[in-house]
Copies of this chain bind each other. A is one copy, B any other.
Amino acid sequence: MTFDTFETPALILDTNRLRANAARMLDHCAAHGVTLRPHLKTAKSVDVARIATGGRLDTVTVSTLQEAEHFARAGFDDILYAVGITPNKFPRLRRIAEETGRTIRLTLDSVEMARALRASGLENPVLIELDCGEHRGGLPVDTPMLLEIAEALGPLCTGVMTHAGHSYATDDLTDVARTAGVETETARAAAQKLREAGFDAPVISIGSTPTVLHAPDLTGVTEVRAGIYLFCDLSQFGRNICRLEDIALTVLSTVIGHNRAAGVLTIDAGALAMSKDIGANTYLPEAKYGWLCNPETMTPLDLAIDTVHQEHGTVTVSDPALYDRLPIGSLVRVIPGHACLTAAGGYGGYHVTNGEWWPRIDGWS
């Protein structure tokens, strides 16, 4: 693939790496006897979702009702909206069900919302959300509210889910495994309580890419959720969750200036093209806003975006010979710090290395 005719910045997706990443996770889940419910908030793409599900078009996760509607229209079944539901989103759930015949699976963690959902007449199945230590959404496992919610949900209760987002707060895989243990145990214990109280709880759903890959024991878990493993990025690499050569998503960018007096060069990938997420730097301080690579070979150039403005990325140049190796107008590919946010920068889709263009579904409405 030659990039000479591309307008930049552009999102480049390496199909070989994507397919390898997807296959590895499908194999991992098959080996553990759990269903993979890929989180499509990273890719927001039907083409990627087909690969992620191994062509199954079933059992996926989304983070917006915009995604839910998009995948329902594309024929996907059993779509989990993994963000707490509120009544102002009920009309859209109703429209999706009427138009596509698909009822999106929901999550909630309060008696109020369980009652509101029942009162609405909607028939969306629900997973009750547990907090396994991330301290974002979810119930503690020992609260009596768990059974009250199940009671309020009645036939809509289909199980439990939890998300160990705090598995990113380390680069030590022993810690990840410990967090994964708590995540699975939290979900299992909650499901057990529901079942002992006579409620139906067929689904036990856990996940984040690190915990799915490093959970010591998935016994009892029925499904796992993960998304970023499809693309990978410097956040994953710095936390020892992927290899550098697994990273499938890059930003094609053009060198737009040499400021020799200031010792920098600028590229046309800035805050919108890369995002301002610097979470990769916690465990990889040299990640900055992304690593510049040769666009054809993907060899890292030992250069990072040090500063971003809306459309400018500024790169510190310590060796003046670099200006000759990267003349104004030349191309680089930049490995992102956090692929989910980079991909959402406004590109509208992916230039795929097989020559195709795969659209994304960004936004909320």
Contacts and interface: CB of A to CB of B under 8 A. Distances in A.
A258 interface: yes
B364 A346 contact: yes
Contacts of A5: 88
A300 interface: no
Contacts of A275: 275-276
Given A86-B254, A312-B137, A341-B271, A9 B262 contact: no
A27 interface: no
Nearest to A87: B329
Interface in A97-117: 109-110, 112-113, 116
A113 B309 contact: no
Find the residue from A41, A264, A272, A347 having the highest chain B CB count within 10 A. A272
A55 interface: no
A310 interface: yes
Contacts of A88: 4-8, 254, 329, 331
A347 B363 contact: yes
Given A83-B268, A110-B257, A276-B341, A136 B314 contact: yes
A266 B87 contact: no
Contacts of A2: none
Given A84-B256, A88-B254, A364 B7 contact: yes
A140 B365 contact: no
A131 B259 contact: yes
A140 to B, nearest CB: 5
Contact of A136 (B89, B109, B309): B309
A262 B268 CA distance: 42
Contacts of A182: none
A347 B85 CA distance: 20
B86 A329 contact: yes
A131 B261 contact: yes
Contacts of A348: 363, 365
A77 interface: no
A45 to B, nearest CB: 14
Lowest 7 A-B CB distances belong to which pairs?
A135-B262, A346-B363, A84-B256, A346-B362, A86-B329, A84-B257, A137-B257
Interface of A: 4-10, 41, 63-65, 83-89, 92, 109-110, 112-113, 116, 129, 131, 135-140, 143, 165, 254-259, 261-262, 264, 266, 268, 271-273, 275-278, 307, 309-312, 314, 327-329, 331, 340-341, 344-348, 362-365
Given A88-B254, A273-B364, 15 more contacts: A41-B311, A84-B257, A86-B254, A86-B268, A112-B327, A113-B328, A135-B259, A135-B264, A136-B257, A137-B257, A271-B277, A310-B341, A346-B363, A347-B365, A348-B365
20 contacts: A6-B88, A7-B364, A10-B365, A84-B257, A84-B266, A86-B254, A86-B255, A86-B329, A110-B258, A110-B328, A112-B328, A112-B329, A113-B328, A135-B314, A136-B307, A138-B257, A140-B261, A275-B276, A276-B278, A346-B362
